[in-house]
Amino acid sequence: MKVTVVGAGNVGATCADVLATREIANEIVLVDIKEGFAEGKALDIWQKAPIIGYDSRTVGVTNDYSRTAGSEVVVITSGLPRKPGMSRDDLISTNAGIVKSVTEQVVKHSPNAIIIIVSNPLDVMTYQAHLTSGLDRTKVFGMAGILDTARYRAFLAEALNVSPKDIQAVLMGGHGDTMVPLPRYTTVGGIPVTELIGKEALDAIVQRTAVGGGELVKLMGTSAWYAPGAAAAQMVEAIVRDQRRVFPVCVKLEGEYGMDGVYLGAPVILGKNGIEKVIELQLNDDEKALLETSRGHVKEVMEALDKMNG
C-alpha cells in the first residue's frame, strides 16, 4: 500500500506525518521540486517512528515521480501559498500550471491512483487536475469541506464548551468566502445546534468559518497547515481503509442540485473507489440561493482558467 504526497511544504509534510503516525499506508512518498527538501522532511518523520511507535515508512524524493509508481492515492498540495492581501484568484495561472504538470506525472506513473487536490484556489485546481488527468469525477476531487467543517465544529465546541467529537456538520459550495453553511444539518450529540445556541451567535460562527483561512493568514502571514494536512489525510484513510465515510468534498456536479459541470463542495460517500456516491440533500430556498451564488463564483473562476488554457 503506497500513498504519495506531492509538495513537501507545511500542508504536504503535515499530511505525510498524519498518514505515517496513523499507519494509513506501508509507504508514504513525499515529492518536492526543492532539492533535498522532501528527503529531509521524510527522514525527520521516519526518525519519529521509534518515539511514537509506528511502522509506516516515509521516503522523500526530488522531482522523481518514478519512485511514486503504483500509488493507490496521490495528494497534490503543490503551488504557491496565499500571501496577505492576495486574493485566491490571483493564484490561478501560476498554480494551474503547477497542478497540470504534477497531474501529468502522477497519471503517467500511477494510472489507477485516486487523486486528491489540496492546492489553491481549490475548486478550480480540482477542475484543472480533472481536465489534465481525463479521469472520472469519482477519482479526482478536492479537499475543502472537511477543513471548513472542522473549523466550524471547532468554533462551535468552543462556544458551547463541549467536545468537538460530538459535533457533526455539513457545509456545501465553494471553499472559503462563498461556502454554504447548513445549520439545519448541524448536531451536537444528536441534538440540533439551533436548540443550544442563539441565531446571532451561530451566524457569527458561520461568518468566522467562511473567512477562517484569511484569519490565519493575517495572524501568521501564511496559510494554515495542521488542519488542512490532517483533513487530506482523513480522506486518504477513508479510501485506503474503505471506510465509506460521509464527507463534504469538492466534486464535479453532474445534475445534482440542478447543476452540471461545476466543481462544488457536496456531501459524498468516500470509499475504496473514491467517491462512491454524491449525496443530494433537500435544500430549502435560502440554501439553494446561497449555493447558486457559490456556483456563480466558482464558474467565473473556471471560465477564467479556460481562457488561460486557450
Question: Binding site annotation covers 95?
Answer: yes
Cα–Cα dist 36/19, whole Å: 21
* Phi, psi dihedral angles at 7 (to 5 degrees): 105, 110
Buried b (16+ CB within 10 A) or exposed e, 174-183: bbbebbbbbb
Question: Binding site annotation covers 119?
Answer: yes
Question: Binding site annotation covers 79?
Answer: no
Question: Binding site annotation covers 9?
Answer: yes
Kindly tell me the number of DSSP H helices and DSSP E strands found in the chain: 9, 14
Question: Binding site annotation covers 112?
Answer: no
Other C-beta atoms lying within 10 Å of the C-beta of residue 35:
10
Question: Binding site annotation covers 82?
Answer: yes
Query: Annotated active-site positions, please?
Result: 175
Question: Binding site annotation covers 10?
Answer: yes
Question: Binding site annotation covers 88?
Answer: yes
The DSSP annotation for 247-305 comes to EEEEEEEESGGG-EEEEEEEEEEEETTEEEEE------HHHHHHHHHHHHHHHHHHHHH
Q: DSSP 3-state helix, strand, coil percentages of the chain (rounded to 5)?
A: 50, 20, 30
In one letter, which amino acid is 32? D
Question: Binding site annotation covers 40?
Answer: no
Cα dihedral: 220, 226, 231, 233 (round 10): 140
Cα–Cα dist 153/149, whole Å: 6
Question: Binding site annotation covers 211?
Answer: no
Binding residues for NAD(+): 7-12, 32, 95, 118-120
Binding residues for substrate: 82, 88, 120, 151
Which residues participate in the annotated binding site? 7-12, 32, 82, 88, 95, 118-120, 151
